[in-house]
Amino acid sequence: MSAATDERALRSRAADFDWQSRMLPSRLLGAQSTTRGLVTYGVLFVVVVLLAALPFMIDTATMAIATRVLIFALLGIGWNVMSGFGGMFSFGHAAYFGIGAYTTAACVVHFGISPWIALVIGMALAVVAALVISWLAFRYRLAGAYYALSTFAFAEVLMLVAEGNDWLHRTDGIGLPVAPGESWWMFNFKLNSPNYYWIAVAFVGVALAVSISFTRARTGRFVVSVRDDEAAAAAAGINPLRYKLTAVAVSAAITAAAGMLYMEYYGFVDPTTAFNSSVSNNAIITAVVGGVGTIWGPLIGAIVTAPLTDLINGFLRNPPAGLEFLHGHSGLDLVVYAAILIVFVLFLPRGIYGSITHWIQRKRRK
C-alpha cells in the first residue's frame, strides 16, 4: 500500500477522535531562532543543577519521594513525545515501561549482565515493540480512540504473557538480590545513597534534552506539523508514517529507561507493577497536569502529582487542631488526590505550564 492511501485513511479517521486539533498551535512549541534554543538548553542546565543540588537540602525520606517524582517525570516525558508532540494518544505506555523493567530484571538475575547494558537492550526492545504495534496500527488505519485502545490492549497482552511465562517467574515477579558493596557498573549502592537520585536526575536531564532537540530538529517539527495537519504536511512532501514512527520510537525508548530506573531503585518487578493500566495512567496524569505538548510540562506535572498522596498523608497523620477527625481514614488521601486532579483539569485545561505560557502570550498581545 502506498503512503498516500495510508495518509488519506489516517486523516479521515483522525476526525472521530480529534483531540489534537484543539491543542496549542505548534508555533508555541519550538523556538525557531538559535538564541532561543540556547536559552532553552541553558534553562535545562540550571534545572538539572538545581535538581542535583537537592540531596544537600533534604532528608532521606524526602529523597525517596524525589526519586519517585523523577521516575514519574521520565514516564511523562516519554508519553509526551509521542502523544503530546506526535498526537498519537497512547493509553498503554505501561508496555514500554514494563519491557524496560523486565529486561533489566532478566539480564541482571539470569545473566548477571550490567543494568547499563540491560538499559540499552531494554530500550531497543521497547522501540521494536512500539514500532511493530504502531506500524500495525497505522497499516490497519487505526486512529484516535481505536489506536489508544489498541495500545492499551497491547500492554494487557504483555502483562498476561508475563504472568504465564516461567522464565519471567510468572506472577511471582523478579526481585534483585541485594549485593554487598557499591558498584556503579552494577548500579548497586547503599540505601539512601544520593547516587540513585543523581542517576535519575541525569536520566531526566537527558530525556529533556532529547525532547528539546527533538522539537527543534527538523524531525520534530515535521512530527508536529503532521500532528496539526497531516494532509498539508503530506502535500509539502513529508512522509507522515515515517515521522510518526520516529516519535513513537523516541517515546518508547525514554519510557523503557523509566522502567529500568524503577527496577534498579525498587529492586522488584511483577506483571502488575510493570504492565498495569495505572502505570499508563500515571504517564498521562503527569503530562496532562503539567502541560501536554510542552517541554517542561511533564517534569512540572510529576513534581506536583507524584508526591501528592505523600503530602496529603503527612497532613492527615498530624492534622491541625480542629481537623483531628480526619485522622485514620484509609483512602481519604486518594479521594483528595482524585479531587485535586479533577480540579487541575477543570481550571487549568492546558496544564500548569501550558496555562502559564498561554496567559503570558495573551498579556503580551494586549
Residue 141: other Cβ atoms inside 10 A: 16
Asked if 308 and 340 count as a contact pair (C-beta separation under 8 A), the reply is yes
Considering beta carbons, is residue 219 or 272 the nearer one to another protein? 272
154 is a contact residue toward another protein (CB under 8 A) = yes
Asked if 98 and 112 count as a contact pair (C-beta separation under 8 A), the reply is no
Q: 229: alpha, beta or left, given left = phi > 0 and alpha = psi -120 to 50?
A: beta
The residue within the footprint of another protein, chosen from 103, 134, 255, 357 (CB under 8 A), is 357
The residue within the footprint of another protein, chosen from 128, 161, 232, 235 (CB under 8 A), is 161
**The three-state (H, E, C) secondary structure of 270-301, written as one string:** CHHHHHCHHHHHHHHHHHHHHCCCCCCHHHHH
Q: How far is the CB of 290 from another protein (least distance, A)?
A: 10
Residues 6+ apart with CB under 8 A from 278: 94
196 is a contact residue toward another protein (CB under 8 A) = no
Task: Read off the amino acid at residue 6.
Answer: D
6 is a contact residue toward another protein (CB under 8 A) = no
- Residues in 27-56 at the binding interface with another protein, rule: CB under 8 A: 31, 35-36, 39-40, 42-43, 46-47, 50-51, 54
288 is a contact residue toward another protein (CB under 8 A) = yes
- Residues in 88-107 at the binding interface with another protein, rule: CB under 8 A: 89, 91
The residue within the footprint of another protein, chosen from 135, 146, 198, 315 (CB under 8 A), is 146
- Residues in 208-227 at the binding interface with another protein, rule: CB under 8 A: none
Using DSSP's 3-state secondary structure scheme, residue 175 falls into strand
Cell 534545572, residue located: 47
- Residues in 336-355 at the binding interface with another protein, rule: CB under 8 A: 337-339, 341-342, 345-346, 349, 352-353
Cell 484543539, residue located: 22
The residue within the footprint of another protein, chosen from 109, 117, 125, 145 (CB under 8 A), is 145
- Residues in 319-338 at the binding interface with another protein, rule: CB under 8 A: 329-335, 337-338
**Rounded to 5°, angle at Cα 313 from 310 and 319:** 140
Nearest to 122 by CA among 244, 261, 245, 247: 261
- Binding-site size for another protein (CB under 8 A) equals 116
Considering beta carbons, is residue 57 or 321 the nearer one to another protein? 57
Considering beta carbons, is residue 13 or 120 the nearer one to another protein? 13
Cell of 147: 489506536
The residue within the footprint of another protein, chosen from 6, 26, 58, 186 (CB under 8 A), is 58
Considering beta carbons, is residue 238 or 240 the nearer one to another protein? 240
173 is a contact residue toward another protein (CB under 8 A) = yes
Whole-angstrom distance, CA of residue 40 vs CA of residue 223 = 20
